């Protein structure tokens, strides 16, 4: 039985706007009610304004009023599974805390982490 969160991340990857890198990424986030919010990377000709799939998914969910999350999936076409970049780890930490992160590729290979493993000493509101 396929995991709907992984299927959603893989489907979202198909919408990636990545004409510059050609590196397509999809993300899916499950909230505490079981709803899934998706995102893909959206690149920009100035390169630096590119937004990763993970942040698109988080910001879509936040903008719809969702505040509590259970799991995140990240899909890319790599043999060594693609993890969230540093900027996305920071955003994921602030909005999702120590969530489960599942990485997946097009062959269905998966690896599961807690965000704290990928981002062990985060800066956050507790320091302010
Ligand atoms: N990218 C993501 O969307 N998520 C990741 O986890 C890694 C990188 C995007 C940004 C850019 O559009 C492309 O992949 C190459 O870096």
Q: What is the CATH number of the domain that holds 95?
A: 3.40.140.10
Q: Going by CA atoms, what residue is nearest to atom 3 of ligand 1?
A: 52
Per-residue confidence band for 24, with pLDDT thresholds at 50, 70 and 90:
very high
Between CA 97 and CA 128 the distance in angstroms is 17
For residues 63-79, give the mean pLDDT: 98
For a pLDDT cut of 70, what percent of the chain falls above it?
99
CB atoms inside a 10 Å sphere around CB 65: 6
Closest atom of ligand 1 to CA, residue 41: 3
77 Cα to the center of ligand 1, angstroms: 11
Residue 12: what pLDDT? 99
- Structurally, the chain folds into a number of domains equal to 1
> Is the model's pTM score more than 0.85?
yes
| pLDDT computed for residue 13 by the predictor | 99
For ligand 1, whether the C-beta of 57 sits within 6 Å is no
Q: Is residue 125 domain-resident?
A: no
pLDDT given at position 67: 98
65 band by pLDDT with thresholds 50, 70 and 90: very high
Q: Which two tokens stand for residue 96?
A: 């999702």
Task: Tell me if 82 CB under 6 Å of ligand 1.
Answer: yes
Classify residue 127: in a domain, yes or no.
no
Is 39 inside any structural domain?
yes
DSSP-derived pairing of the beta strands 36-40 and 25-31: antiparallel
Q: How far apart are CA 105 and CA 111, in angstroms?
A: 10
> Is residue 91 assigned to a domain?
yes
pLDDT tens per residue across span 93-120: 999 999 999 999 999 999 999 999 999 9
For residue 29, give the 3-state DSSP assignment.
strand
Tell me if 45 is assigned to some domain: yes
Which residue range forms the structural domain that includes residue 66?
4-120
Atom of ligand 1 nearest to the CA of 40: 3
Q: HSE of 95 in the Cβ direction (CA atoms, 13 Å)?
A: 26
Indicate whether 128 belongs to any domain: no
Residue 106 lies in a domain: yes
Any catalytic annotation for residue 111?
Answer: no
* Domain-located, residue 126: no
């Amino acid at each position: 039985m396929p995991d709907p969160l992984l299927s959603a991340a893989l489907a979202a990857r198909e919408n990636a706007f990545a004409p510059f890198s050609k590196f397509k990424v999809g993300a899916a986030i499950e909230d505490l009610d079981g709803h899934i919010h998706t995102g893909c990377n959206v690149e920009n000709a100035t390169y630096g304004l590119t937004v990763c799939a993970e942040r698109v998914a988080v910001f879509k969910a936040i903008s719809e009023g969702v505040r509590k999350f259970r799991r995140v999936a990240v899909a890319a076409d790599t043999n060594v599974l693609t993890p969230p970049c540093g900027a996305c780890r920071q955003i994921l930490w602030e909005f999702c805390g120590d969530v489960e992160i599942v990485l997946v590729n097009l062959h269905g290979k998966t690896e599961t982490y807690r965000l704290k493993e990928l981002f062990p000493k985060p800066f956050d509101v507790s320091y302010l």
